[in-house]
Amino acid sequence: MASRVVRPFPAPLARQDEVPATALQSADSLGLIRRMRRNRKAEWSRRLVRENVLTTNDLIWPIFLVDSSQARTPVVWMPGVDRLNIEEAVRQSVEAAKLGIPAIAPFPNVEKSLRDATASEALNTRNLMCRAVRAIKQEVPELGIICDAALDPYTSHGHDGVMAGETVLNDASVRILTEQALALADAGADVIAPSDMMDGRVGAIRAGLDAAGFDQVQIMSYAAKYASAYYGPFRDAIGTNATLIGDKRTYQMDPANSDEAIAEVALDLEEGADMVMIKPGLPYLDVIARVKDHFRVPTFAYQVSGEYAMIQAAALNGWLDGDKAMLESLIAFKRAGADGVLTYFAPRVAEKLKAIG
Ligand SMILES: NCC(=O)CCC(=O)O
Ligand SMILES: [Mg+2]
């Protein structure tokens, strides 16, 4: 057996007030062949060996809409985020396109009086979403618009589907979601993003879109959407926090599972999803990595409202460097394998990336 060379533990340095650097180096050298720190010694070198890069092309910007005479109304639980009226949403879309953000994802805060048990307002082709999508498409046709298919902004009970007693009905909800998707496609949505987690909705929406001549409208499915506490501030933004009865654990996924995410993604791809999404983001990086490794399809992460709020709250208290934490959280998605991220930070990041050049 080859004997291992055991290096004597370096003798402790004599206590001195100042030891010259060279003396420290020679006294302590471990004679290492590989030193991982060499590549980190200067910014040019760190840039050269960097494995992942965040670009503006990776960003999807979720925005909140409201019917209001005021251009902006603040979302209290998401400092720095406002609900926009249609005119302001158009202006912000123009800005987003100028910054090079590829796409936005609008979400409506629907007037309470328009919400009912069957989400009938979701099918109104003149509803807030449809009017906003038309207006934005007319002004900035080159900006992608990704529209949620989900009933929660429109239901009086705050669930993503219609209910019988305490049960959220699957197939009946899918029929309504398909109609909703058609209304959005007709308004000009480029991508339908079913976020409801009903079974079979991707296939039904694909068939509905194709039959109506919208065969070029893409589907980005919220394939693995978890029943998460991190959606809290979003429910403030769209005004469902007060109305939601119970929770969504009978249709959204159990945070304890990840094999199940693979099964969900497989089904959505079979049913015709062009892109898949995992949501929330940072607490589910392992799921993003597994899905990307397994399927090699366009995979997106949603950095949800609670993730945004945590960073912002800490930054506003002076407990975190907000910009650094924002960028670090976003590069994590790239490292995990995501092709892009829905993030409320999108315009701020795009501005920063533009300034860096
Ligand atoms: N369907 C979209 C969402 O539920 C967003 C959740 C969030 O940002 O917390
Ligand atoms: Mg599913």
Domains of the chain: 55-356 (3.20.20.70)
Dihedrals phi, psi of 112, to nearest 5 degrees: -55, -40
3-class SS at 18?
coil
Residue 241: its pLDDT value, please?
84
Give kind and range of the element (H or E) at residue 164: strand 163-164
Ligand 1 centroid, distance to 356 Cα (angstroms): 30
> How much of the chain exceeds pLDDT 70, in percent?
93
Residue 1: its pLDDT value, please?
44
Q: How many other CB atoms are found less than 10 A from the CB of residue 235?
A: 17
Cα–chain center distance at 1: 55
Compute the mean pLDDT over every residue in the chain, rounded to the nearest whole number: 94
pLDDT band at residue 7 under the 50/70/90 scheme:
low
Distance CA 117, CA 162 (A): 7
pLDDT in tens, 83-96: 999 999 999 999 99
pLDDT band at residue 18 under the 50/70/90 scheme:
low
Cβ < 5 A residues, ion ligand 2: 264
pLDDT in tens, 342-354: 999 999 999 999 9
Is the peptide bond preceding residue 153 cis, with omega within 30 degrees of 0? no
Cα–chain center distance at 276: 11
Q: Are strands 299-303 and 340-343 parallel, antiparallel or unpaired?
A: parallel
Ligand 1 shell residues, CB under 6 Å: 148, 150, 195, 231, 234, 304-306
Q: Which ligand is nearest to the CA of 236?
A: 1
Higher pLDDT among residues 78 and 357, named by residue:
78
Ligand 1 centroid, distance to 305 Cα (angstroms): 7
Would you give the end-to-end CA distance of the chain in angstroms? 57
pLDDT above 80 (res 234): yes
Residue 233: its pLDDT value, please?
96
Q: How many other CB atoms are found less than 10 A from the CB of residue 348?
A: 16
Give kind and range of the element (H or E) at residue 346: helix 346-356
pLDDT above 80 (res 121): yes
Residue 28: its pLDDT value, please?
82
pLDDT in tens, 95-113: 999 999 999 999 999 999 9
Q: Which ligand is nearest to the CA of 309?
A: 1
CA angle 67, 123, 272 (to 5 degrees): 115
pLDDT in tens, 53-64: 999 999 999 999
ipTM: 0.95
> Does the annotation flag 95 for ligand binding?
no
Q: List residues with catalytic annotation.
A: 225, 279
Spatial contact of 83 and 72, defined as CB atoms under 8 Å apart: yes
**Surface-to-core class of residue 5, CB atoms within 10 Å of its CB (0-12 exposed, 13-18 middle, 19+ buried):** exposed
